[in-house]
Amino acid sequence: MGKAIEIRINSEQCRGCRRCALACSWGKEGGVNPRKAGIKIHKLEKGAKDRPMINQQCEEEFCGKTPFEDSEKRVPRCVEACLFGALELVEEVDSSE
Domains of the chain by residue range: 3-92
Length of the chain: 97
Contact status, residue 14 vs residue 41, Cβ threshold 8 Å: yes
pTM: 0.74
Give the tens place of pLDDT for each residue, 13-44.
Answer: 999 999 999 988 887 667 888 888 889 998 87
Query: Measured between alpha carbons, how far is 63 from 60 in angstroms, rounded to an integer?
Result: 10
Give the highest mean pLDDT range of 7-11, 55-59, 74-78: 7-11
Specify the pLDDT at position 1: 47
- Tell me the percentage of the chain whose pLDDT exceeds 90: 21
CATH class of 3-92: alpha beta
